């Protein structure tokens, strides 16, 4: 596939959640439909207020992971809940974002509050623990949350409350991480576990689903790149459906050594299902790292691939060099997994597969 055909495919067929313009248009159409309903005006007006405060591009309709479809713009508020996703940056950490699912029941705001759910499994480089998930679910039914009164719209108050709690949660763990880096520690390696005091300081990661690999998935891991005590490890695997991505990432996070890394699963993936190209990436707390990996997959014209880079921080800031190492680790993994020919072009040649370790 040449670059021109790839661009045409992406322009014509990319799913709506990969296209900001489509997200905004879907939301505008949905809000317009709500305004025409007798009981929908308050909900629609609240959404428009949120768009004016946070921006139109950060609010979009919820896509069901089971069906892969979005809520119809013709759904009646009287018969179904309205669900939309809000993506926000933490107030004092512009590069750290969270995603919140807002579920508005048919009886809102007359007799029931909305429900807010944290979709992000990571805030920056830290895995979210169950207590934070639970406290956010109880935002409008807990004494420590937001007081709700019947007949009052309250999503904005709830979102602001969540931002404050998530920022406090993130700063506590960031402070703990910095304190740990100041302590004298030996360099972590892939074969030799970190000293006991590092293990004690690790924030436990609770996986929301089974950490077993999907059937037929084989992760290839390449040798680490080490620079000033920071360690970068690349991994790649072939995927056949977007639903496999979170399962693979959960499997990696179930490895205690990976879970101790400063940036556990910087990743990017592309997958064709029929004629539709799905793609996404995650910086995992290393600003712009995920988008750089996505760009790498794009220029190499690779499909049906997930590439992941894990970084253990060695206590010395590397500056721009860290992005060079992340890209090199990813490219090494792609070559070892057979996605690249030996001359660096894309293809199905698997001669390089023996350079990596199967997982």
Sign of CA dihedral 173, 87, 77, 155: positive
pLDDT at 345: 43
Q: Give residue-wise pLDDT tens across range 158-192.
A: 999 999 999 999 999 888 766 555 555 444 454 44
Task: Decide the pairing of beta strands 115-118 and 93-104.
Answer: antiparallel
Q: Give residue-wise pLDDT tens across range 58-88.
A: 999 987 654 455 554 444 555 578 899 999 9
Sign of CA dihedral 316, 317, 319, 320: positive
Q: Are 344 and 329 in contact (CB under 8 A)?
A: no
Task: Mark 279-315 as b/e (b = at least 16 C-beta within 10 Å).
Answer: bbbbbbbbeebbebbbebbbebebbbbbbbbbbbbbe
Question: Tokens standing for 132?
Answer: 């934070």
Q: Per 3-state DSSP, what percentage of the chain is helix, strand, and coil (rounded to 5)? A: 40, 20, 40
Rounded to 5 degrees, what are φ and ψ at 285? 90, -10
Q: Which residues sit opposite 89 in a β-bridge?
A: 97
> What is the rounded CA–CA span in Å between residue 282 and residue 252?
15
pLDDT at 1: 42
Sign of CA dihedral 333, 336, 338, 341: positive
pLDDT at 65: 57
Other CB atoms within 10 Å distance of the CB of residue 31? 22
> What is the rounded CA–CA span in Å between residue 309 and residue 264?
7
Indicate the pTM of the whole model.
0.47
> What is the rounded CA–CA span in Å between residue 125 and residue 107?
38
Q: Are 226 and 234 in contact (CB under 8 A)?
A: no
Helix axes 20-35, 41-54, angle to 10 degrees: 150
> What is the rounded CA–CA span in Å between residue 312 and residue 187?
9
Q: Would you list the DSSP string of 104-170?
A: E-TTTTTT---EEEE--SEETTEEPPHHHHHHHHTTTTSTTS----TT---HHHHHHHHHHHHHHHH
pLDDT at 79: 56
Residue that is written with structure tokens 């009287």 in the block: 78
pLDDT at 178: 65
- What 8-state DSSP symbol labels residue 263? E
- CA 306 from chain centre, in angstroms, equals 14
H/E stretch holding 215: none
Residue that is written with structure tokens 């040798």 in the block: 223
Helix axes 130-137, 155-182, angle to 10 degrees: 160
pLDDT at 236: 93
- Going by C-alpha positions, the residue among 243, 240, 241, 223 that lies closest to residue 231 is 223
Residue that is written with structure tokens 């909900």 in the block: 43
Q: Which residues of the chain have pLDDT under 70?
A: 1-20, 64-79, 177-211, 341-359
């Amino acid at each position: 596939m040449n670059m021109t055909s790839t661009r045409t495919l992406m322009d014509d067929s990319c799913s709506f959640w990969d296209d900001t313009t489509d997200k905004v248009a879907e939301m505008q159409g949905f809000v317009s439909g709500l305004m025409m309903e007798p009981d929908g005006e308050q909900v629609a007006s609240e959404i428009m207020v949120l768009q004016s405060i946070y921006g139109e591009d950060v609010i979009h309709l919820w896509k069901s992971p089971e069906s892969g479809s979005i809520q119809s713009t013709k759904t009646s508020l009287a018969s179904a809940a309205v669900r939309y996703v809000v993506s926000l940056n933490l107030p004092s950490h512009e590069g750290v974002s969270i995603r919140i699912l807002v579920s508005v029941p048919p009886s809102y705001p007359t007799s029931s509050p909305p429900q807010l759910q944290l979709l992000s499994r990571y805030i920056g480089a830290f895995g979210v623990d169950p207590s934070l998930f639970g406290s956010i679910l109880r935002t409008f039914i807990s004494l420590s949350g937001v007081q709700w009164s019947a007949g009052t719209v309250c999503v904005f108050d709830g979102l602001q409350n969540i931002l404050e709690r998530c920022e406090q949660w993130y700063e506590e763990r960031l402070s703990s991480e910095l304190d740990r880096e100041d302590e004298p520690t030996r360099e972590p390696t892939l074969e030799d576990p970190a000293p006991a005091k590092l293990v004690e300081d690790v924030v436990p990661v609770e996986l929301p689903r089974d950490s077993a690999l999907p059937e037929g998935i084989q992760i290839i891991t390449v040798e680490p790149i080490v620079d000033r005590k920071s360690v970068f490890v690349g991994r790649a695997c072939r995927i056949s459906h977007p639903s496999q991505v979170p399962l693979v990432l959960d499997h990696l996070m179930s490895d205690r050594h990976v879970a101790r890394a400063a940036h556990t699963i910087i990743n990017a993936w592309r997958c064709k299902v029929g004629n539709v190209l799905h793609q996404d990436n995650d910086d995992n707390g290393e600003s712009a790292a995920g988008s750089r990996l996505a760009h790498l997959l794009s220029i190499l014209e690779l499909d049906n691939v997930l590439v992941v880079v894990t970084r253990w921080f060695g206590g010395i800031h590397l500056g721009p060099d860290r992005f060079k190492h992340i890209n090199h680790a990813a490219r090494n993994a792609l070559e070892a997994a057979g996605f690249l020919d030996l001359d660096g072009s894309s293809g199905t040649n698997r001669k390089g597969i023996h350079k990596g370790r199967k997982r």
